[in-house]
């Protein structure tokens, strides 16, 4: 679950650079030649950040792994254990941190996982998870980081274990710092999203998570610092909701009055 973090981190961070070129302005700060934020770019980042987290693309727990029936999980010498219910409440608690280097690039990562089997009857039919992953990739010319914190409960809705509910929260943050001439001057961009998962119903019978219903109200912010903004930079806050429609589609609202449809199969977002 924590493998290939360097590759994942670099891919995500590179994707955010296309967004970080959009510099922001707000009342009380009047930077020179700083355009207003592009709602379409903000919407896409908010939409994809949630789905990437849920599906494990940011290095944490993936809902695509689903819930295995206890009889398939607990076997000894080819026979199922009778006391399957003893797994109710079983908790895995682990942490890891490490630093690797590849040429002039350093990658530091830190993880914390608390995973608990849950039961609504006498058998395991769900789990509660807290999974935190933070990764930083740096050279002399840039420092790019992301953090993904998942805290939610998953419960099977039928005996196939391929239709589940999900409720809880996800917090994702991405920071990009680009230095100029390897000095301390340059540009800084951050995107933070906090999602409240409410009544998600997830069907992964096809092998890929299809969220068929539920909502994710969110708060989000962007922060930019460059030569036009001053040392404090410019921070803009956003609120809205993602409503899941099934068939890998969703509707995203950025308050006030910006609406989009999302296609998670093609990673496209279209203004309404």
pLDDT-above-70 percentage for the chain: 77
Q: Quote the pLDDT of residue 86.
A: 64
Q: Which residue has the higher pLDDT, 181 or 235?
A: 235
Q: Are 146 and 110 in contact (CB under 8 A)?
A: no
| 72 domain-assigned | no
Determine phi and psi for 76, rounding to 5 degrees: -145, 120
Q: Which pLDDT score is estimated for 128? A: 93
Q: What is the pLDDT of residues 98-119, one digit of tens each?
A: 999 999 999 999 999 999 999 9
Residue 125 lies in a domain: yes
Q: What is the pLDDT of residues 199-231, one digit of tens each?
A: 999 998 887 889 999 999 999 999 999 888 888
Q: In this model, does residue 251 exceed pLDDT 90?
A: yes
- Residue 248 pLDDT more than 50? yes
More confident residue, 84 or 261: 261
Count other C-beta atoms under 10 Å from residue 88's C-beta: 17
Is there a domain that residue 145 lies in? yes
- Does residue 76 lie within any of the structural domains? no
Per the CB < 8 A criterion, the answer to whether 229 and 34 are in contact is: yes
Residue 22 above 70 pLDDT? no
Tokens of 153: 């409960």
**Does a structural domain hold residue 77?**
no
Q: Domain range for residue 207?
A: 5-66+84-271
Residue 55 has a pLDDT of 83
Look at 108 and 255; give whichever has higher pLDDT: 108
Is 29 a member of any domain? yes
Q: Are the C-beta atoms of residues 120 and 157 closer than 8 Å to each other?
A: no
Query: Is 75 within a domain?
Result: no
Confidence check: pLDDT of 82 > 90? no
Q: For residue 67, what pLDDT is reported?
A: 67
pLDDT computed for residue 79 by the predictor: 36
Answer whether 199's CB lies under 8 Å from 226's CB.
no
Highest mean pLDDT among 76-90, 208-222, 225-239: 208-222
Tell me: pLDDT of 182 over 90: no
In a domain, 158, yes or no: yes
Selected residue with higher pLDDT from 202 and 59: 202
* Domain count for the chain: 1
* Res. 83: pLDDT tops 70: no
């Amino acid at each position: 679950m924590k493998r290939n973090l360097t590759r994942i981190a670099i891919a995500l961070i590179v994707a955010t650079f296309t967004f970080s070129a959009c510099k922001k302005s707000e009342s009380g700060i009047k930077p020179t030649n700083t355009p207003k934020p592009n709602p379409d770019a903000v919407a896409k980042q908010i939409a994809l950040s949630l789905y990437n987290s849920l599906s494990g693309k940011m290095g944490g727990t993936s809902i695509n792994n689903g819930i295995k029936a206890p009889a398939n999980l607990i076997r000894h010498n080819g026979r199922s254990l009778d006391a399957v219910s003893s797994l109710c409440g079983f908790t895995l608690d682990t942490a890891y941190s490490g630093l690797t280097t590849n040429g002039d690039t350093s990658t530091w990562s830190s993880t914390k996982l608390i995973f608990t089997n849950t039961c609504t009857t006498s058998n395991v039919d769900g789990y509660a998870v807290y999974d935190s992953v933070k990764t930083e990739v740096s050279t002399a010319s840039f420092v790019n980081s992301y953090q993904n914190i998942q805290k939610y409960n998953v419960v099977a809705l039928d005996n196939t274990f391929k239709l589940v509910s999900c409720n809880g929260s996800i917090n994702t943050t991405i920071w990009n710092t680009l230095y100029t001439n390897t000095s301390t001057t340059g540009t800084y961009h951050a995107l933070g999203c906090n999602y409240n998962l409410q009544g998600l119903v997830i069907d992964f019978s096809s092998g890929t998570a299809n969220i068929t219903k539920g909502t994710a109200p969110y708060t989000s912010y962007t922060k930019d610092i460059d030569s036009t903004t001053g040392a404090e930079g410019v921070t803009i806050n956003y609120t809205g909701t993602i409503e899941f429609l099934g068939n890998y589609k969703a509707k995203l609202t950025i308050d006030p009055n910006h609406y989009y449809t999302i296609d998670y199969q093609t990673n496209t977002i279209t203004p309404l």
